[in-house]
Homo-oligomer: A and B are copies of this chain.
């Protein structure tokens, strides 16, 4: 019979290995990561990785699911919130993502890269498709706004792409930008924090300008 202590001990080293895997996988990607790297990073023997997780791929899948969850997390709640306006939602989403990305700068490039490496895997193994069952409330709000201005707004897909592009891409290109401009990590993060206020403003401006035009 398993005691509490035993379980906690296992969970501890198992968690350490998972944390090490998270670090190495995120930095180097699946293919470039050797199980020996994870062992070294965790401080444990190589064989322990296969003792707790059956294989490199199984361990990777766990990390991947956690990362995807972190990425999609709470967004469903925000975009379906009945108590916030459309523009308030933009502010909340951007602020939420920038905070998360400052804490996990390597996340988006990791995810995007692995999606390209095996596009079907995420569709089959990881169900990222159940974000919304009905129509998202934010979509309803968008349509209402479009109707109120009886104008055909620009394709909402453009607005969506703009939002995630402005928010996420600087982190994807972080090293490139910092290398080109020579700014430090602190200054870069300060710039990103500035964008928490700027991006919703910009996106709002873009939406407004597309309405005035028609």
Q: CB within 8 Å of B: which residues of A?
A: 27-32, 106, 109, 112-113, 115-117, 119, 122-123, 154-155, 157-158, 161-162, 164-166, 168-170, 172-173, 175-177, 179, 181, 183, 191, 194-195, 198, 201-202, 205-206, 209
Contacts and interface: CB of A to CB of B under 8 A. Distances in A.
A184 B205 CA distance: 29
Main secondary structure of the interface of A (DSSP, over half): helix
Nearest to A172: B112
19 contacts: A27-B116, A29-B117, A30-B32, A31-B31, A31-B32, A109-B112, A115-B175, A119-B175, A119-B179, A154-B198, A155-B191, A157-B181, A157-B183, A158-B194, A161-B166, A164-B169, A169-B169, A205-B205, A205-B209
Contacts of A29: 29, 31-32, 113, 117
What copy number does this chain have within its complex?
2
Contacts of A162: 166, 202
A152 to B, nearest CB: 14
Contacts of A205: 205-206, 209
Nearest to A32: B31
| Shortest beta-carbon contacts, A-B, top 8 | A31-B32, A165-B169, A31-B31, A169-B169, A165-B165, A205-B209, A202-B206, A113-B113
